[in-house]
């Protein structure tokens, strides 16, 4: 009986590989997890700790959410069967293969990947198959506005920055402030070749620097809730267009335009708040004084998923976005970097932003 059950589980894994719903693209890297973790190895939470509980079409499992992260919880055993590590998790179907071999299927998203997940209800054995999520990874293959000379210089500086500051990863975006077109977007990780961190990721930033229009209130334009350095740059570029957003589509040189929802008074106040003179601003004193900026910087702590109370940070993400010069702005840039260390400050950006800006001010 045990052997037959194992065979059926293996057959379910074959079904996973053949399912068209995952829409694997040619060349995608697929990781298969068939470990079936012991629930004792999974972080456990009291049921009343969850911020949200979503019920499935089975009484055994619910999808639980805490601090924006989701996981699976077994109502019969009163325990978590996965870590709270998914940014999205949805019930798909319940199947009965006969001989009491029942399986519950889910769709999940974590980081830049998506998965089909199969849980066998008799012992919570989990099979899952992961592939890159096209909605989370940008491609510049069809973008015709990339400046190759600028891209080459940015890659060189970003590589040097990641290596010298021992960063885990970093991304840098440059937009033409006048046209809103994308000039370059470069990503780099510590070993310069690791899959994932070196990709242009759609959800790679914490939300604190998402928009220059956030002043303690929710942004009027919901597009600015996006958390990629690309969308951060688009948001700051709105300062040159009275709050309108010019969003490159990555297809040729086309853009989408979201009209401004801000009054003239709004824009005057926002610009006044974000205008920076590096000689008098302590937070941005590291910026080159060769130009004046609209800009902002922030630091956000990163936590391990198993740190239930988010008490002990394991690293930091630093962010900077700005547009320069203030008069007749030419460029908007955003740079984001992560490091598994608490000894991280935006001052480190001086090693990449300053030489890059000095070079950009010279070229035509």
Distance CA 321, CA 294 (A): 9
- What CATH number is given for 138-362 in this structure? 3.40.710.10
Residues of the chain with CATH 3.40.710.10: 138-362
Q: How far apart are the first and last CA of the chain?
A: 74
CA distances from 18 to 11, 14, 26, 177, 245 (A): 11, 6, 14, 46, 41
pLDDT one digit per residue (tens) for the chain, 364 residues: 444 555 565 665 555 555 544 444 444 444 444 444 444 588 999 999 999 999 998 999 999 999 888 999 999 999 999 999 898 999 999 988 666 678 899 999 987 788 899 999 988 989 888 888 877 788 888 999 999 999 999 999 999 999 999 988 899 999 999 999 999 999 888 765 544 446 777 666 665 544 555 443 334 444 444 468 888 899 899 999 999 999 999 999 999 998 988 889 989 988 988 898 766 767 788 888 888 899 888 887 777 655 556 667 778 888 899 999 999 999 999 999 888 887 888 889 999 999 999 999 998 6
Please name every residue paired with 131 in a beta bridge, in sequence order, or none if there are none. 114
310 three-class SS = coil
Whether residue 115 contacts residue 128, with contact meaning beta carbons closer than 8 Å, is answered with yes
Whether residue 176 contacts residue 284, with contact meaning beta carbons closer than 8 Å, is answered with no
């Amino acid at each position: 009986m045990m052997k037959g059950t194992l065979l059926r589980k293996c057959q379910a894994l074959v079904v996973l590989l053949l399912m068209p719903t995952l829409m694997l693209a040619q060349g995608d890297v697929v990781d298969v997890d068939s470990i079936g973790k012991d629930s004792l190895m999974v972080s456990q939470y009291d049921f009343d700790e969850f911020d949200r509980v979503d019920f499935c079409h089975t009484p055994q499992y619910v999808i639980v959410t805490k601090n924006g992260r989701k996981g699976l919880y077994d109502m019969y055993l009163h325990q978590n069967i996965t870590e709270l590590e998914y940014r999205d998790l949805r019930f798909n179907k319940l199947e009965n293969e006969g001989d009491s071999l029942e399986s519950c299927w889910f769709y999940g998203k974590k980081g830049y990947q998506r998965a089909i997940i199969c849980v066998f209800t008799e012992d919570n054995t989990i099979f899952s198959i992961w592939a890159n999520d096209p909605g989370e990874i940008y491609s510049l293959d069809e973008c015709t506005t990339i400046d190759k000379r600028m891209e080459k210089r940015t890659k060189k500086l970003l590589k040097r920055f990641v290596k010298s500051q021992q960063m885990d990863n970093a991304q840098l975006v440059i937009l033409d402030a006048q046209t809103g077109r994308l000039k370059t977007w470069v990503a780099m990780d510590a070993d310069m070749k690791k899959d994932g961190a070196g990709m242009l990721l759609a959800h790679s930033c914490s939300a604190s620097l998402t928009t220059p229009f956030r002043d303690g209130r929710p942004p009027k334009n919901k597009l600015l809730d996006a958390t990629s350095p690309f969308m951060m740059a688009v948001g700051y570029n709105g300062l040159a267009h009275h709050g309108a957003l010019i969003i490159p589509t990555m297809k040729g040189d086309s853009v989408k335009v979201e009209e401004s929802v801000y009054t003239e008074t709004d824009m005057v106040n926002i610009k006044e708040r974000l205008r920076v003179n590096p000689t008098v601003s302590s937070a941005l004193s590291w910026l080159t004084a060769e130009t004046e900026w609209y800009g902002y910087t922030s630091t956000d702590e990163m936590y391990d998923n198993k740190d239930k109370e988010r008490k002990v940070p394991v690293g930091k993400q630093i962010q900077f976005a700005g547009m320069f010069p203030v008069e007749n702005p030419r460029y908007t840039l955003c740079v984001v970097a992560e490091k598994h260390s608490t000894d991280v400050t935006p001052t480190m950006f001086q090693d990449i932003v300053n030489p890059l800006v000095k070079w950009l001010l010279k070229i035509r």
